[in-house]
Amino acid sequence: MDDISLTTEYCRYCLMCRHVCPVTRVTANEATSPHGWALLVASARRGLVTWDDDAVDRLYQCADCGLCQVHCVTDQPLPDALIAVRATLVTNGQALASVAALDERLRHWGNIYSKDSSATPIRRAPAALLVGSEAWHRTPEEVQAAQRLLNTAGLEYALAAVGRDEGYLAWTLGLHDTARALAQTTREELTAIGAQRVIVLSPQQLHTLIYVYPRLGIPLPEDLEIVELTALLSRLVNTGQLALRPLTLEAVYHDPAQAPRLNGRGDAPRQLLRSIGVTLHEMLWRDRRAMSAGTSGGLPWTQSSLAAKMARKVLDDAMRTGVTTLITDAPETLAHLRTVADGIAVRGLYGLLAEQLRSSQVET
């Protein structure tokens, strides 16, 4: 039995991670829990389930957030196992119709917004700011804010993957040929830029570059530094390279999708916010148990109702702390949360920090 099959055999009767699954937390349904998905796959292997619309739909409800694996004592890669099954369904023409439609757009446009993503000329620089599709098309103001912050700190960089998906969506939906092509394009672009450092805007991008690309057979060079913008900004503030004005604000910080996979990742954004005087309240679902707001696993595009409920759950958690502002840094999470925000302001971290740049410093 291959590793992927072994994982679903192991997980089909294990319930030890159900408490952290953000999907189960919203649905309260065993069929949409790590154990439920594993049992579904194991039952299909035994001929007890056929991959009809019902079963395929259930399989595409996993958020691929990694919390089950993070909290597994034996590190079972269930998300990868489910993605592998999705890939088989894609190959067999059994995936959701919405997945095929997304694939067509990703192949043609490099993004799902049917907008040209190849307009920016390549410029050589020691660093690349990986923009991607979500930030460019949904939160362009955050990209501009990120650039202002980097410019102010005096960093030289070029933009990469402008408006183009870096490959995560295709990977998680099981569109591995498409994901491979997007990864290949990104790798070639980074090579052309000559970057020794890639700055990414979200933990999901970081996860894609360090975890997904090698699995697609497109690893980035080992000597290429990959750093999240939030971590970089924290360093710049700590070393005095970036000065920010204080701010009076009570808020809660939401750790975006894939953040729990990265141990210790939650320190930098909190440190940054505290450094400018933000009084932080904390949700119960934070750091290593932070729930995906429905932005991972392709949920916004294949399971929009579920994705919206997950976002609403995060906002409800935030409001329960008594604050009226939620701050997050991943552009895709920011954009998604804003679609359901009601009764609470959702702010982007980069935009917030850029507003606090001292006027004498601001690079225009």
Site of interaction with another protein (CB under 8 A):
10-11, 13-19, 28-31, 35-36, 39-40, 42-43, 46-49, 52, 54-55, 58, 72-74, 76, 284, 289
Least distance in angstroms from the C-beta of 248 to another protein: 25
Compute the distance between CA of residue 20 and CA of residue 160 in angstroms, rounded to an integer: 34
Among 223, 257, 224, smallest CA distance to 128 is for 224
Compute the distance between CA of residue 59 and CA of residue 297 in angstroms, rounded to an integer: 11
Residue nearer to another protein on the CB measure, 143 or 291: 291
Residue nearer to another protein on the CB measure, 16 or 227: 16
Residue nearer to another protein on the CB measure, 46 or 108: 46
Least distance in angstroms from the C-beta of 114 to another protein: 32
Compute the distance between CA of residue 362 and CA of residue 220 in angstroms, rounded to an integer: 33
Residue nearer to another protein on the CB measure, 38 or 357: 38
CA–CA–CA angle 254, 242, 220 (5° rounding): 65
Least distance in angstroms from the C-beta of 177 to another protein: 27
Least distance in angstroms from the C-beta of 86 to another protein: 15
Is residue 16 packed enough to be buried (19+ CB in 10 Å), middle (13-18) or exposed (0-12)?
middle
Compute the distance between CA of residue 36 and CA of residue 325 in angstroms, rounded to an integer: 35
Cβ atoms of residues 331 and 138 within 8 Å: yes
Least distance in angstroms from the C-beta of 54 to another protein: 5
Cβ atoms of residues 220 and 213 within 8 Å: yes
Least distance in angstroms from the C-beta of 41 to another protein: 11
Pairing, β 127-131 against β 158-162: parallel
Least distance in angstroms from the C-beta of 313 to another protein: 11
Is residue 318 packed enough to be buried (19+ CB in 10 Å), middle (13-18) or exposed (0-12)?
buried
Least distance in angstroms from the C-beta of 16 to another protein: 5
Residue nearer to another protein on the CB measure, 30 or 363: 30
Least distance in angstroms from the C-beta of 213 to another protein: 29
Residue nearer to another protein on the CB measure, 267 or 282: 282
Least distance in angstroms from the C-beta of 212 to another protein: 25
Among 343, 333, 305, 319, smallest CA distance to 27 is for 305
Q: Which stretches within the chain are classed as H helix?
A: 3-11, 22-27, 34-45, 53-59, 67-70, 78-91, 97-109, 132-138, 140-152, 168-173, 176-193, 203-207, 213-215, 229-238, 267-275, 299-302, 304-320, 331-340, 349-355
Residue nearer to another protein on the CB measure, 15 or 100: 15
What is the distance of C-alpha 222 from the center of its chain? 22
Local structure of 23: helix, strand or coil: helix
Residue nearer to another protein on the CB measure, 45 or 123: 45
Cβ atoms of residues 209 and 337 within 8 Å: no
Q: 331-340 and 304-320 helices cross at what angle (nearest 10)?
A: 90
Q: Return the biggest CA–CA distance within the chain.
A: 68
Residue nearer to another protein on the CB measure, 17 or 257: 17
Residue nearer to another protein on the CB measure, 10 or 113: 10
